[in-house]
Structure 1
């Protein structure tokens, strides 16, 4: 069971209290909470009459705390205090209106009775759920590799990466070597062609020189 005792603050009017700073902010928060409670009381009163109404409990911390007392399985009593002073006439009227709206709220109380068998079944269900969760965690641990195995797998992976890098490097070196050999062969062929061309040029020069010499001899004769 639960017992809740709530002392609601009175409505704070800034014009009457002349508060400032933190006290003024506190008064504004009090009025905001009382307004949220009044809205919930109005909605609960309409719900009791028509059977359908949205109750805005989440608009304030106060209404969230009083939710069980206002509409739950509970007995609730509200005590409204008024003043006999004429200066407090408006406050007294507002308090009486507040209480009159709260009077429209109807709660239906029923005993919270639970048998021993139901408690035992609840506990057994909780134990079964915990045991199944433990089994799932054990299964997950079994599937994960041990720390030593993880290191071995990581080392093997590093070795595989290094071997792959060495293979790529070796293949690149072989390709470069073949290219150098082919270039060397092409260079030798070009040198041979150059030598042949030089020989042919020399022969042509000799032929031209011999032809020119024979022509000069013929002219002189």
Structure 2
């Protein structure tokens, strides 16, 4: 164990400048205004705590503050340790490394949007599910809504096909001795739609004459 006496002004800046060292204390140097450091050897960098009149080895954080230790652009000091992060997939918030959200990754063009996603006004959005009875749906990205592109005749034909398919399935289930209430209600709903659409088409034809 040795006693080192350091210049305080240099120690404040983390610089070690020893005036004297000995294997035993030398009160004279303390009285002369030198800072005392006790250890087997002098550290490369020190920190001088004026409040406690204490010299100790500099912490990593203090070295960074003093500019002795330089951090890379993808490094931060967290919990007294240097941590490396991936700027493409991570970011810093309140001096903490956090993972980027999928929206952030897509907006920064690190990842591509899924087929059911689109970007509008700086936000990643999901295309809503196409309405159940829509035949030829087309999504309007400006209005952000589905529009029906099928003609009345195409919609009528689509309803006929659905009615035939569901009716056949109901008959098959009944032949096995069972009843599917949900399927029968759907059949009635489709028949009502078919009736209403047929009625509307007939009215349009009458208006043209």
| Same fold by TM-score greater than 0.5 | no
Greater helix share, structure number: 1
- Whose relative contact order is higher, 1 or 2, with alpha carbons under 8 Å and at least 6 apart? 1
TM-score if structure 1 supplies the norm length? 0.23
TM-score by length of 2: 0.24
Between Structure 1 and Structure 2, whose CA radius of gyration is higher?
Answer: 1
